[in-house]
Amino acid sequence: MLRYILYFNDEVKDIMNKFKKTSFVMVLLLLFALLVMVGLSTSFAADRNITNATDGGISGAVNSSLANDKIILSDGIYSGNNNKDIIINKNLTITGSNKANTVIDLSGGSKLFTINSSVSLILANLTIKNAQIGNNSYLISNNGYLTLQNVNIINNEIENDAGYVIYTDNHLTVIDSTFTNNSGIAGGAIYVSAGNNSTTNVDIVNSTFTNNNATTNGGAVYVGAATSGLSNVNIIDSTFTGNNATGGGSVYIRPIGISNVNITRSNFINNKAVYGGSIAINNYENGTPNVNIIDSTFTNNNAADNGAAIDVGSSANGTTSAYIVNSTFENNTVGYNGGGIVITNSANGTTSAYIANSTFTGNNAGMGGGVSVLNMGSAYIANSTFTGNNVGMGGGVSVLNMGSAYIVNSTFESNTATTSGGAIFVSTSANGTPSIYTVNSTFVNNTATNNGGGIYVTTINGSDGILDSSFVNNTATNGGAIYLTTGADGSVSVDIVNSTFESNTATTSGGAIYVYSWIRTHDSVGIFDSSFVNNTATTSGGAIYVTTNSNSSVSVDIVNSTFESNTATTSGGAIYLTAGADGSVSVDIVNSTFESNTATTSGGAIYVTTNYRCNFTIDVLSSSFINNSAANGKAIYVTSGPDSNVSVVVNYNVFLNQSTGAIFKNGASSVVVDADYNYWGFNGVPTGMTNVVVNSYYVLGITNMSDLGANYTVGDLLNFNYTVYLNGTSDSTNASNLPSLNSIFYNDLLYGYFSLNAPGIIQVPVQTIAGDVFNFTNANGTVIGNFTLTGTIYPGSVDNITVPEIIIVNNTSVDLVISIPTSVGGLAGQTFNVTINGQTQTVAFTNGTGTFVGYQYGNLGLNSLNITLSDNPNYNNSSAINNVFFKEETNINASVNDTVYGENAIIVINATSNGRSIADGTYTVILNGVEYNVTFTNGIGQVILSGLNAGEYNYTIIFNSTDKYIESETNITINVIKANVNIGVNLPSNATYGGNSTISGNLTTNGSLLEGTYNITVTINGVEYNVTVIDGVWSLTIPNTNVGIANIDIFFPENNNYNNATIANSYTVNPKNLGTKITITSTRNGNKITYKITLKDNQGNILTNQNLTLTIAGKTVTLRTNSQGIAQYTFTATKAGKYYANAAYNGLNTENIIYGSSSAKSNSISITKTNIKVYHVAKSAKTVKYHGKRYRVYYKTYYIKNYGILTGSKLFQKSLKGFTLSKISKTSNIKTNYNKTKKILKTSVKNLAHAKIAKIKIKFYKRIA
């Protein structure tokens, strides 16, 4: 508002000066009109068009513009003092028409714009380049509202490692812009800061940052905030490539106050830093950065130390949080920690990262190929994938010192560690307590050269949990899936719940899990509701290996878990348990199943051993051992070292197919094995129980519940009761502790599985009218019940006889599969005479299915079958009519030629049936779910597809079933190759420097204009222009800035459907011919004539530093124009006469412009001769008395003037006869000579210039009395 007040006051002052005599009313009217004008000036913004030759440049345009004006720059290069160091104190827009052609070139200068608070500057369609930014200076400083739209910021750099390219502490918006090869002390392109009690908002959209560099942090962008400041930054759809800094190769975030940063759908490629190859997040003391990274990619980034892509950290008392969602980290490399992300923390700081729905692939690191969590940092990782990462330790994730990680619904596949932890590595230093919890995650094909193919845990103190996770085909030396160890004097607990371990391999021990307690430590491992299948150890512990060092202890709880088909080459097909000297091991195995595990030597399921002076207890309760094998101890092997205290309790278990050598105790061992209260798979005790005594065991009994003398119909169900009790008694006490699984056999056929730990009922069908004998045996053939029916048995009935659709294979006959209810025949099966439409044969039915072989059918299509079942004593005759389709087998194959994009793909389908072409007609063909009605002739049909983009298409083709032909399917691959593009170009024929040239052309494919919108790159003498092509037509207008050959290269980049195309050509830019004009003016000052010569071209542009000749009165001088195109010369005339001058310019040939010659004549100035006259005499007189005498004293002053123009001299002579000369006063240009004898005074006036005055005053007297 102040601007308008000043403007108003100035205008009022002008009006008042001009119209002093205007009435008061008129003044008021004018003031009112002026107020209206001023008001309008704030409402209607004006467009101001300038060129790079406009006086005052951009600076002058800014200074003379009103608020909200738009300054439009014509194409050209804007440089020099008038185009830099500009203060923006009003809302303005400065725009070019084409950013490639409208260039603000600082040419080594520093400041461009300083934007004052509360004002807005919009920069659009410009290139700003070549600034040399001095100490703590800047290219653009924004304290207001700055918008960059479609702007190139390139090749700006700092000097002496201090300064900024763009500094903002208010509102900044960047859209569709590029920042290339810039450097700054921090934030190579943009530095964001929020002052105390202020908020800074920055939005960066669809912009590109390439090869920017910061001497400290933030190769492209730096985000900070003062103690009470708040900075909000959004980066959307942008790309950061090849940027470099110490911290944060592209982006560095570190506030003292609060910084909220959102990065969405952006790409970070080939960036580099010491830490945080792309992004580094940290804070100063008490600072709070909050960062969200969504839908972004990080590829080929590099950090020398930590965080190849992202470094998330916190300083003292600071709080850092990062949310990374739906993002990809690929082929990044770091020297130490975090091939993708590192999360760390310093004293009293808090750092947390949430990583979800993200992928980490092919990254390389010392530790943590995907994510590394250090110190007290914490990470929550959900729904993410870690694949093919390569590290020293922790192929996917590493957790060190007091870090913690929670991993949910994630996948670790084919990661490799050259030492330990193929997928996850957890470690700590002294007093460190890391923790890691893995939930519902998958570990597949991970490898560690040393230990822990999936997970490696080595800590002093810590707790870890694995829940609902699976480990498949992981490999290591020890612990194919998991390796757990404890540092000296430490304590670690791990719980594994509802997880699966399958086909993992240890080349030494612990095919799935290896647990090792080091010196004076304690490991606690809980395994609940988990399964171990097909795991392998080359030596011991096919699934699990547990051991201790001296003076250490391990406790293991295994509950509700399954061990199946695990293998150890030597001992412990499923589990190997041992203790070191003076060690202690406690193992509880409850409600678990061991089936088909194998050890070559000892302990098919479990191997127990100790060193000397050990305490070892193992309780195996309520578990099942089925078909395990070893040379010694098919289920369990027990031995111990000297002076050890070992307790083995094996109670309430079931052993199936372990009828010999189930438990083996080394005879030299002092171990006592309690093997009572088990069920051994039959009503007895296995043989070969070496050094093991069994006193009490459970047996199985069966009694009938149905009336065996009653009458029944074949197929009726009989009920039998089964119970479990101790041998020699009817006592079922504690039978509920037995596992629930046992197999029951009826007449040598497995009937079902039944619970052992409670009474139950078995239902068996009546089989024949002759009456049944029911023999029940258990798995190893022992009879546990025998019952016979004595009542009358009546034949049963057969209902629901069906025949499915029939497929004919090149035959006149077919085998018909007949289905009846499965209850018919029950377990034993039945035979019937079957008649179908008069054809009869005997058919045996098992489990409800029988086959009528060689049925002679009539015609293809729908047939009515009259089916009769007869001649079975156990069932009444039955019949049914089935309407069944008889169809021939159909085979189809398809072919298609390679198709060029834009053409139709013609798929040729050949359909045959039993070696013959299908009948001519129209059939339904389905391509990838889309139905087509296709006409086949001689077995050949066609499907025409249009509108396919270039690429490879895999189609499933289905020949739909008819009443005579079955469905047939085939696959075909269609290759739609990219089309070629031809570039047409029209070149300018008369290009002249300083003008514009239009290059136009077209894109065609297959003779037609290319429809749609595309971009091509037109490179002219190394300068690239991005040109939009619409429906095949394009045009580019550029300024002609250099004379000579313009080499033009046009490039159409390949896309999904078209190959790239190039064309090269050239045209000539001719020098510009400009005429010149001399303007000469002359002014006279006395006899001095000053000539002012102005030299311009015929376009009105001044010509500086040019030589001119000026001829005056036969004299020629050479002059040179100054920076305003002006030359001046002053001539001194020595003679009277008329004077004029001739100015001449001989022209100039420059590289780009040819300036013509010109001349001009000045106006004539007259110089008159010298004319010196006395033009005035001042007289006075008085009478004086002197020594008694009287005198008359006279005073005369003579004024002498040169009335001519030429400077001259003149002699005057005065006689003073009769008088006495007393005194002479005169000016300096007068000389006097007085002859006292003759009384003659001679006065000479010397060099008196035009209109100048000389003066002489004389005093003389005579005596009068």
Q: How does pLDDT run across 1177-1214, given as a tens digit for each residue?
A: 888 988 888 888 898 988 989 889 888 888 888 888 88
Task: Give me the sign of the Cα torsion angle 452, 454, 459, 463.
Answer: negative
Q: Reply yes or no on whether the pLDDT at 17 is more than 70.
A: no
Instruction: Judge whether 287 and 281 are in contact, CB under 8 Å.
Output: no
pLDDT-derived band at 705, boundaries 50, 70, 90 = confident
Helix H or strand E segment including 39: helix 24-43
Pairing of strands 830-836, 1033-1039: unpaired
Question: Which residue has tokens 């590192």?
Answer: 342
pLDDT value at 743 more than 70: no
Rounded Cα distance, 923 and 914, in Å? 18
**Which pLDDT score, from 0 to 100, does residue 796 have?**
85
The residue among 855 and 717 whose pLDDT is bigger is: 855
Mean of the pLDDT values across residues 681-694?
A: 82
Distance from C-alpha of 1123 to C-alpha of 1110, rounded to nearest angstrom:
19
Rg (CA), the chain: 54
For residues 509 and 537, the answer to whether their CB atoms sit within 8 Å is yes
pLDDT for residue 718: 84
- For the segment 1056-1080, what is each residue's pLDDT rounded down to a tens digit? 999 999 998 889 999 988 899 999 9
Segment 335-344 shows an average pLDDT of 95
Q: Residue 765: what pLDDT?
A: 79
Q: What is the CATH code of the structural domain delimited by 1072-1167?
A: 2.60.40.10
pLDDT in tens, 185-205: 999 999 999 999 999 999 999
408 C-beta neighbours (distance < 10 Å), count = 18
Q: Burial letters for 654-681: b for 16+ Cβ neighbours within 10 Å, e otherwise?
A: bbbbbbebbbbbbeebebebbbbbbbbb
What DSSP string runs through 428-482? --TT---EEEEES-EEES-EESSB-SSEEEEEEEEEEEEES-EEES-EEEE-SSE
711-733 burial string, b = 16+ CB within 10 Å, else e?
A: ebebbeebebebbbebeeeeebe
Other beta carbons within 10 angstroms of residue 1151's beta carbon come to 9
Tokens of 664: 């083996």
Instruction: Compute CA distances 1123 → 84, 218, 1096, 1104, 1127, whole Å.
Output: 19, 44, 12, 5, 10
Q: What CA–CA distance (Å, rounded) separates 639 from 690?
A: 12
CA 67 – CA 124 distance, rounded (Å): 17
* 133: nearest Cα among 104, 109, 112: 109
> What dihedral do alpha carbons 506, 510, 515, 519 form, nearest 10°?
-80
Q: Once rounded to an integer, what is the mean pLDDT over residues 283-306? A: 95
Higher-pLDDT residue of 516 and 216 is 216
The Cα 476–Cα 422 span in angstroms is 8
Q: How does the average pLDDT of the chain come out, rounded?
A: 88
* Model confidence pLDDT, tens digit, residues 984-1007: 999 998 899 888 999 999 999 988
* Structure confidence at residue 1177 (pLDDT): 83
Whether the pLDDT of residue 1221 is over 70: the answer is yes
User: In the chain, how many H helices and how many E strands?
Assistant: 3, 131
Q: Look at residue 1069 and give its three-state secondary structure.
A: strand
Residue 27 has what pLDDT? 34
Q: How far apart are CA 500 and CA 482, in angstroms?
A: 12
> What integer pLDDT is reported at residue 11 of this predicted model?
36
Pick the CATH number of 795-886 from 1.20.140, 2.60.40, 1.10.15, 3.40.50: 2.60.40
| pLDDT winner (highest mean) among 419-428, 575-584, 665-674 | 419-428
Structure confidence at residue 108 as a pLDDT band (50, 70, 90): confident
Distance (Å, rounded) from C-alpha 597 to C-alpha 619?
A: 19
User: What average pLDDT does the segment 530-543 reach?
Assistant: 97
Q: In terms of Cα–Cα distance, which of 409, 406, 408 is closest to 464?
A: 406
Choice between 683 and 384, residue whose per-residue pLDDT is larger: 384
**pLDDT digit string (tens) for 390-428?**
999 999 999 987 788 899 999 999 999 999 999 999 887
pLDDT band, very low/low/confident/very high, at 581 (cuts 50, 70, 90): confident
Q: Which CATH class is domain 1172-1263?
A: mainly beta
- 699-793 is a CATH 3.40.1350 domain: no
CB 1167 within 8 A of CB 1132: no
pLDDT of residue 757: 66
Which numeric CATH code is attached to 888-977? 2.60.40.150
CB atoms near residue 1030 (< 10 Å): 13
- List the one residue out of 222, 223, 221, 169 whose CA is nearest residue 197: 169
Give the predicted TM-score (pTM) of the model. 0.65
Cα dihedral sign, 88-90-91-97: negative
Query: Alpha-carbon distance 81 to 59, whole Å?
Result: 9
Q: How far is CA 1120 from CA 53, 1109, 1147, in A?
A: 21, 9, 13
394 contacts 418 by C-beta, under 8 angstroms? no
206: confidence class by pLDDT, cuts 50, 70, 90: very high
Residues 35, 4: Cα–Cα separation, whole Å:
10
The tally of CA atoms less than 13 A away on the side-chain side of residue 1204 is 19
Overall size of the chain counted in residues: 1265
Is 13's pLDDT higher than 50? no
Query: What CATH code would you report for 979-1069?
Result: 2.60.40.2410
How far is residue 381's CA from residue 741's CA, in Å, rounded to a whole number? 39
CA–CA gap between residue 1019 and residue 1066 (Å, rounded): 11
Question: Is the pLDDT reported for residue 577 higher than 50?
Answer: yes
Give the per-residue pLDDT at 9. 36
Confidence class for position 12, pLDDT limits 50, 70, 90:
very low
Token reading at 457: 């845990």
**Does residue 978 register a pLDDT over 60?**
yes
Among 624-638, 720-734, 829-843, 868-882, name the one with the lowest average pLDDT.
720-734
Q: Taking 50 as the threshold, does the pLDDT of residue 31 lie above it?
A: no
Beta bridge partners of 793: 712
Instruction: Give the list of residues 6+ apart from residue 1022 with CB closer than 8 angstroms, or none.
Output: none
As given in the structure block, the two tokens for residue 514 are: 């290896």
Identify the residue with better confidence: 132 or 431.
132
Give the pLDDT confidence score for residue 15 in this predicted structure.
31
